[in-house]
Structure 1
Amino acid sequence: MNAHILINLLLTVILVVSFEVQALSPNYYDHSCPQADNIVTNAVKKAMSNDKTVAAALLRMHFHDCFIRGCDGSVLLDSKGKNKAEKDGPPNISLHAFYVIDNAKKALEEQCPGVVSCADILSLAAKDAVALSGGPTWEVPKGRKDGRISKAIETRQLPAPTFNISQLRQNFGQRGLSMQDLVVLSGGHTLGFAHCSSFQNRIHNFNTQKQVDPTLNPSFAASLKGVCPAHNRVKNAGSTMDDTTTSFDNIYYRMLMQGKSLFSSDEALLAVPSTKKLVAKYASSNEDFERAFVKSMIKMSSIIGNGNEVRLNCRKVR
């Protein structure tokens, strides 16, 4: 075998091995840790029984993880020394329920030490958060590895609640996500709570001509101003994302069409015909929304990061 053929063969082997390392599969832990899914589900179920905000927190945490360096569990790392980690970046200050991931990891380490990555635990927990809130369930592709880098400054890459449709298109597109994925994943706002700072731009000094965003339903805007006055000093003041904040459903889309969304980025979904049509579709059919949500969640959670290890502690690298 000459050198040229040997080099080509080696390159082929390297490419195949690299692909296999990166490939995700629902069956990844079937032999190494067959109880992985159930262990994570139990941890999420226990937490949700004590705290109704856990579901929204886990779903948002997973989203914020995948949008920075891919789904590599970097959002779980604690700041250390001079390095300020993602969880301490401005958009992530309100993230919580990290203890749920810690509890799941502890149980997994007792059952199958050093096998299940923190990134996979977070992806599984997000699925459980949706399913246990009355939403759809799905087989989570697994095999992610944990990253070693987490920088607060990189959280500026996250889509902001003030983004317009062009900014959202670019932000999602950079991660291989389509405009349909944008509309569908925005439906995750059906769970949770938003602080006044996330939507005050719509209810106070909107522009030089108007105090309030004219796309907002007037009575809805008035109610928001009631809980978020111009000089609000209540630390955790804000509003639920929709009227059924602990149930995963399509109410978010119905309220959006009625001028009752919180974020500028929500209202932006009505700015162009293609996304507006999807909003209307999901507002009229919860079944269509759930089916699409599963596909977009699997797509987003399969954004591979540069992780190459399985952390023993989700808060710190080995």
Structure 2
Amino acid sequence: MAYIPSLVLQLLLLALVFAIANGSDLKLGFYRKACPRAEAIVEKATADHVSVAPSLAAPLLRMHFHDCFVRIANISEIELILYDVLQGCDGSVLIDSTKDNRAEKDGPPNLSLRGYQVIDAAKTVLETECPGVVSCADILALVARDAIYQNSVYISSSFQIKGPYWAVPLGRRDGRVSIASESLTLPAPFDDITRLKEQFSAKGLRGHTIGTSHCSTIAARLYNFTGKGDTDPSLDSDYVPYLKSKCKPTDRTTLLEMDPGSFRSFDKNYYKNVLKRRGLFQSDAALLADKETSAYVKLQAESNGHTFLKDFEESIMKMGQIGVLTGEAGEIRRHCARIN
């Protein structure tokens, strides 16, 4: 057998990594023949839950983000391929911990995730109709979209999220690796602008506009920002009394609206709040600390979100194709919470 220099082998493997990681093997209507009703089943399962609990829409979108954005640390690109553990949209956030492994969902950033029952409900029906065909990773990608944009057939107008609709190419397969410590690579609410730009620019993503967060997430900003019992000066001083009335220093259970007045709607008001220095997180305030991101915030706030939905749709479609497993890689889990 001819000798192949190691550098050539590495380049071949890295080319394979790129081909998989950019989602080029995903396609619309992937299950058209193998499971024709797959997307309708997921849509209905999502609607059945979100119509009863509209506040699930944001957590389900966040779950998709946390699944795709996690990064396996301290492992080379070649090892990622050799050991079939490409990080990205592989449904690894859905896996339960075992006595031998603490999984992603039990990592600190994921402890507040919720909505797993929606994924499980869709999977149960799909496994009855098309056993072993539809991946949990694809279900999660579809649920995130359907939760934001719900068909009025299933949800009354008073509960509709009124979000955008984006195309979801399918064909993802499920990963077999889920490690709690890797969740620490997710963007954090206290990250500065340099760190945020490093993480988000590579993925083409921007802020959040829907949902709630626990008081514990902003307690330090309100009561002990520098360790001296002070408040983060980047917060609007007129807004601080309101936040303190909602959140006491040790409150770990109360939920705050990220976008007061429209936290169930998917709209551009997030940027108006950031511009008024009323974003909940340090990462929100950080957007005003950079020339490029502050200009974008100002554009969306003052132009009534002129390009907001278009930008979001492009970003979420790109995110849904990060590090996907396709072809014969990974597996199709029978139960989303455990590896086959």
TM range (shorter): 0.7 to 0.9
Distance 1:142 1:214 in 2: 45
Backbone CA RMSD of aligned residues: 2.4
CA contact (8 A) 1:89 1:155 kept: yes
Distance 1:161 1:155 in 2: 14
Distance 2:176 2:121 in 1: 21
Provide the TM-score with structure 1 as the length reference: 0.87
Matches within 5 A, 1:1-318: 19=19, 23-68=25-70, 69-132=87-150, 133-173=161-201, 176-178=202-204, 181=205, 183=206, 186=207, 189-207=208-226, 211-230=230-249, 232=250, 234-243=251-260, 244-283=262-301, 284-306=303-325, 308-318=330-340
For structure 2, the residue ranges without an aligned partner over 5 or more in a row are 4-10, 71-86, 151-160
Larger helix proportion of the pair? 1
CA contact (8 A) 1:22 1:144 kept: no
Deviations 1:179-225 (A, max 9, x none): xx2x2xx1xx3221111221122211223688112221122111111
CA contact (8 A) 1:41 1:128 kept: yes
Change in CA separation of 1:147 and 1:278 when aligned onto 2, cut-off 3 Å: same
Distance 1:221 1:73 in 2: 38
Question: The residue matched to 1:194 in structure 2 has which SS?
Answer: strand
Question: The residue matched to 2:213 in structure 1 has which SS?
Answer: strand
Deviations 1:18-65 (A, max 9, x none): 958961111211221222221111111110111122101100100000
Question: The residue matched to 2:238 in structure 1 has which SS?
Answer: helix
For structure 1, the residue ranges without an aligned partner over 5 or more in a row are 5-10
Amino acid at match of 2:277: G
- The number of aligned residues is 298
CA contact (8 A) 2:216 2:252 kept: no
Change in CA separation of 1:32 and 1:138 when aligned onto 2, cut-off 3 Å: same
Which shows bigger deviation, 20-29 or 65-74?
20-29
Q: CA deviation at 1:172?
A: 2.9
Change in CA separation of 1:19 and 1:276 when aligned onto 2, cut-off 3 Å: closer
Amino acid at match of 1:237: T
Q: CA deviation at 1:82?
A: 2.5
